[in-house]
Amino acid sequence: MPRVRTQVYLEERQYERLREEAFKQRLSLSELLRRIIEQAFFGERGGAPLDRSRLREKALGFVGKGHDPKPDVARNHDRYLASIGQ
């Protein structure tokens, strides 16, 4: 996919936070920004944008806060974690 060059002015704290995260993930700042934009606007799999309130609700349900606790979390935690982003 062709890329378009752009220039963005960031606050110093934004730049520092991005730089730290890029270093942790071993990515360039540009690649990290592309991934953040992709996720924010198109979702993790290129579909609909992420509904953060829905993700939060599912995450809280996973840990059992505000919902009935799941008695089989110890055995099925991978299945529950995989379903959070869906």
Convert the pLDDT of each residue in 3-36 to its tens digit.
889 898 989 999 999 999 999 999 999 999 998 8
Residue 61, pLDDT > 50, answer: yes
Q: Kindly list the domain boundaries of the chain, sorted by start residue.
A: 1-50, 52-84
* pLDDT of 15: 92
Pair 70, 80: CB distance under 8 Å: yes
Nearest to 33 by CA among 10, 67, 56, 60: 10
* pLDDT of 24: 92
* pLDDT of 2: 86
Residue 83, pLDDT > 50, answer: yes
Mean pLDDT of all residues in the chain? 75
* pLDDT of 68: 53
